[in-house]
Amino acid sequence: MNFMNQLRMMTYASLFVALIAAGAFISIPVGPVPIVLQNMFVLLAGLLLGPRWGLASVFIYLLLGTFGLPVFAGGTGGIGRILGPTGGYLIGYLPCVYATGLIARKNKRSRLVDISAMITGSVILYAAGVPWLKFATGMGWEKAFMAGMYPFLPGNAVKIVAAAFIAGKLRPLMKG
């Protein structure tokens, strides 16, 4: 039943659009800094949906945000966020999810592969986000890294480890 599988993947991808959007609102307090789950859902979209459907869900997410629906962090939206100083992290979700999905799909399934796929995805995300931040604000490289990368690394590591467990638990539930 090819039609049904296609339909199911489309529904899952739409679900991930909603999860990524909801991820901007769901935060878990860890110590003094709340961890926002958004980029974890992007990584999971890569792992669970694969490169193509993962890309589709991130694309739709960005489209909704660009059109002004309040799906970006802090319940905001609009083209202003894409063009703004943190826009690189949003656009960067596209190559991030694709790379994560591709690495996870092309290699034998294991937790180690999942984790390396997500690390690669995260590196790509910062590679898009930090330079964008630098040029949009006119700050120096050192400050851009200080403001746009270093503080998030511990949280990111936690999320990658958690996502590896989550993917392991959810894969058997996905039909098709």
Partner 1 sequence: MTPFTYRKGESHYHRLDPRYKLIMLALVSVSVLQAAFIPLLVFSAALAQAMVRVGIHIPTALKHLKFFFLLLLLIFLARTVSEQSGDTLFKIYKLQVTTGGIRLGVLTAWRFLVVMLAGMIFSRSTRPSQVKSAAQWFLKPVPFIPEKRAAVMIGLAIRFLPLILQQAEELSLARKARGGDLRKNPVKRITELAVGLMKKSFRTADQTALAMAARGFSEDRTDPSFHPSRLDAAYLVLTGTTAILLFVC
Report the residue from 112, 146, 153, 174 that binds partner 1 according to the rule CB under 8 A: 174
Q: Which stretch binds partner 1 (CB under 8 A): 78-86, 89-97, 109-117, 124-132?
A: 78-86
Q: Which residue, 128 or 148, is less far from partner 1 as judged by CB?
A: 148
Q: Based on the shown chain and the rule CB under 8 A, indicate whether residue 18 belongs to the binding site for partner 1.
A: yes
Minimum separation from the CB atom of position 120 to partner 1 (A): 20
Question: Residue 157 contacts by C-beta under 8 Å, 6 or more apart in sequence?
Answer: none
Classified as helix, coil or strand, 39 is helix
Q: Which is nearer to partner 1, 51 or 85 (CB)?
A: 85
Q: Is 73 in the site for partner 1 (CB under 8 A)?
A: yes
Q: What distance in Å separates the CA atoms of residue 87 and residue 95, rounded to the nearest whole number?
A: 14
> How far is Cα 43 from Cα 49, in angstroms, rounded to an integer?
10
- Residue 3 binds partner 1, judged by CB under 8 A: yes
Instruction: Return d(Cα 29, Cα 129) in angstroms, integer.
Output: 24
